[in-house]
Chains A and B, each alone.
Chain A
Amino acid sequence: MSKLSFFLGCIAPNRYPGIEASTKKVMEKLGVELEDLKGASCCPAPGVFKSFDRTTWLSMASRNITLSEEMGDDILTICNGCFGSLVDANLMLKEDAALKEEVNKMLSEIGHEFRGTQDVRHIIEYLFQEVGVEKIKQAVTYPLELKVAVHYGCHLVKPTKERQLGSAENPTFFDKLVEATGAKSVDYEDKMACCGAGGGARTAVLDTTLKMVSNKLEHVIAADADCIIDACPFCHLQLDVGQTEIKKKIDKEYGMPVLHYSQLLGLAMGFTPEELGIDMNFVDNRKFIERIGGVRNE
């Protein structure tokens, strides 16, 4: 299997490094070689940057892509926002020669050139399409007896025209990956609902977006799920830090563990919760970790 350049983004390395560590561990076990994309920046955050100025958004995204081109590898992202920004920029520049020329004029001043030789991948679709559910099942040594609520997040699957990953109303590929770990993906009301973080909304109107978090948590709890599994550090932050913000505001405590898929898969491969940073959420995950310990010793 070919090598991938590992694009970290902002929130994983700078707030939830457990997601970064888990990705490295599980990809190594699966035989996928990752090399750090050295010197990469913010993707940049599509919500704020596409709102502010598309030229700025495109130039910064294209610089990140050129770093990967220079290594001759496709990019692996672990965040829906980074994926959205980089896929969109890559497609636009590959398809629009005039735009590419305009961007390359800017990039030439810092010694880079966009050539359009590489693809941008997201860990979830890469695992599903390139590694495959069967191979993941074979790598599982501690099947997890958990009921989990899968949260796809918006920009993994939408806009569907650019993503090419099938239905955005009722996708199944992420659930299949989750069930490869032995866990059961439970259905819950409004499963595809947005976490509220994107588009600069969390920054602009936190309180309103927290109502979206509350809705999701209520639905996840009603489905009797043990945890939420996401594909994006920004959704992860909104759903995890969001719970501490809700507690401060209305003194309601959900105590819902939120894990990135790389962390769930890591558990199923026999890594400890501590090695995967599951104890590093802002919500206290101790009860969940004790439970996992029980599951793994069975």
Chain B
Amino acid sequence: MSDTIKTSNLSPEFREEIFEQPGTEKITLCFNCTGCSSGCPMAEQEPEFNIRKFLRMANLGMKNELLNSPYLWYCTTCYKCQERCPQGVPNVDALLKIRTIAVHNGIMLPAHKKVGQMVINSGHAVPINDDTKEKRKKLGLDEVPPTVHRFPDALNEVKKLLHIAGFDIIIAKKEEKK
């Protein structure tokens, strides 16, 4: 048996928040054909990740359930569902916007936060290490690649830009417990 959805727990503004991302208003066109979720390579491994159900929940305004679902972070953004949707719903764009709303509410995985912090510190999501430096030398490449890794001024530009965009503040956000 499914749980009852209580209207008092719904957030009517949630949809409007999602629709700030242009195109996502098309989630209202979904008629539950399940073409998206039935072809999803992640759902094949983890049935709790159900893109159709998630977008239905978004349509109903089930903000709390969605933002706090651990399965929100399972999508690999392969875009198979978005390509196949007969209604032209941008499923992935909508899911990413829901993730963004979660993050702006301080809900993010520690591992993702670490990646964000890595980019703030080094300008790379995957920075160089000693093992790769050795490999680069063996291949006749410069030990340090000609990216922000080699040019401190360029790294400072990136750091400044991330600060202007407010990314450091977003990463530092903590969830406000009600």
Apart from A20-B145, A48-B116: 5 A-B pairs, beta carbons within 8 A: A17-B139, A168-B83, A204-B111, A208-B42, A277-B135
**Set of chain A residues within 8 Å of B92, measured between Cβ atoms:** 159
Query: A212 to B139, Cβ gap below 8 A?
Result: no
Partner of B141, one of A21, A159, A200, A211: A21
**Set of chain A residues within 8 Å of B146, measured between Cβ atoms:** 8, 36-39
Known contacts: A201-B42, A204-B109. The answer to whether A59 contacts B164 by CB under 8 A is yes
Q: Does B100 contact A (CB under 8 A)?
A: yes
Query: B112 to A159, Cβ gap below 8 A?
Result: no
**Set of chain B residues within 8 Å of A242, measured between Cβ atoms:** none
| Bound-complex Cα distance A60 to B124 (A) | 11
**Set of chain A residues within 8 Å of B147, measured between Cβ atoms:** 8, 13, 38-41
**Set of chain B residues within 8 Å of A204, measured between Cβ atoms:** 73-74, 109, 111-112
Q: Which residues of A are interface residues toward B (Cβ below 8 A)?
A: 8, 10-11, 13-15, 17-18, 20-21, 36-42, 44-56, 59-60, 63, 106-107, 109-112, 154-155, 158-160, 168-169, 193-194, 196-201, 203-205, 208-209, 211-212, 274-275, 277, 280
| Bound-complex Cα distance A42 to B108 (A) | 20
**Of B6-14, B28-36, B52-60, B148-156, which stretch is located at the interface?**
B148-156
| Bound-complex Cα distance A108 to B83 (A) | 37
- How far in angstroms is the closest Cβ of chain B from A66? 10
**Set of chain A residues within 8 Å of B153, measured between Cβ atoms:** 39
Known contacts: A45-B125, A48-B112, A56-B167. The answer to whether A196 contacts B76 by CB under 8 A is yes
Known contacts: A17-B136, A54-B100. The answer to whether A201 contacts B73 by CB under 8 A is yes
**Set of chain B residues within 8 Å of A196, measured between Cβ atoms:** 41-42, 76
Q: Among B45, B109, B132, B153, find the residue whose CB has the most chain A CB atoms closer than 10 A.
A: B45
Query: B78 to A198, Cβ gap below 8 A?
Result: yes
**Set of chain A residues within 8 Å of B66, measured between Cβ atoms:** none
Known contacts: A52-B170, A55-B165. The answer to whether A201 contacts B76 by CB under 8 A is yes
Partner of A110, one of B115, B128, B129, B161: B161
Known contacts: A48-B115, A154-B79, A201-B42. The answer to whether A14 contacts B124 by CB under 8 A is yes
Q: Among A10, A54, A160, find the residue whose CB has the most chain B CB atoms closer than 10 A.
A: A10
Query: B161 to A198, Cβ gap below 8 A?
Result: no
Query: A194 to B41, Cβ gap below 8 A?
Result: yes
**Set of chain B residues within 8 Å of A54, measured between Cβ atoms:** 21, 100
- How far in angstroms is the closest Cβ of chain B from A202? 8
Mask: chain B, 109-135; 1 = CB below 8 Å from A; 0 = not: 101100110010001111111001001
- How far in angstroms is the closest Cβ of chain A from B151? 4
Partner of A205, one of B74, B129, B150: B74
Query: B165 to A42, Cβ gap below 8 A?
Result: no
| Bound-complex Cα distance A182 to B153 (A) | 45
When A and B form their complex, which 7 residue pairs have the shortest distance between CB atoms, in order from nearest?
Answer: A39-B154, A13-B145, A199-B77, A158-B79, A194-B78, A41-B123, A51-B99
Nearest-CB residue, chain A, relative to B162: A56
| Bound-complex Cα distance A102 to B77 (A) | 26
